[in-house]
Amino acid sequence: MIQYIIKRFFMMVLTVLLIATLTFFLMHAIPGSPFDDDRTSNPTIQENLEKYYKLDQPLPVQYANYLKAIVTFDFGPSIKKPNDSVNSLLARGFPISFELGIITILVAVLSGVTLGTLAALRHNGIIDYLAMTFAVIGISIPNFILATLLIQIFAGELKWLPAATWQSPLHMILPTLALATGPMAIIARLTRSSMLEVLTQDYIKMARAKGLKPSRIIIRHALRNAMMPVVTIMGTMLAGILTGTFVIERIFAIPGMGKYFVESINNRDYPVIMGSTVFYSAFLVFMLFLVDIVYGILDPRIKLHKKEGESS
List, for the chain, all residue ranges whose pLDDT scores fall below the cut of 50: 304-312
The torsion angle over the Cα atoms of residues 155, 158, 160 and 165, rounded to 10 degrees, is: 10
Rg (alpha carbons) of the chain, rounded to whole number? 24
DSSP result, 171-209? HHHHHHHHHHHHHHHHHHHHHHHHHHHHTTSHHHHHHHH
pLDDT of 312 reads 41
pLDDT of 188 reads 92
Q: Are 98 and 89 in contact (CB under 8 A)?
A: no
Please name the residues in contact with 241: beta carbons below 8 A apart, sequence gap of 6 or more.
101, 104, 105, 108, 179, 180, 183
pLDDT of 52 reads 81
What are the chain's domains? 93-264 (1.10.3720.10)
DSSP result, 105-124? HHHHHHHHHHHHHHHHHTTT
Burial of 66 (0-12, 13-18, 19+ CB in 10 A): buried
Residue 59: how many other CB atoms lie within 10 Å: 11
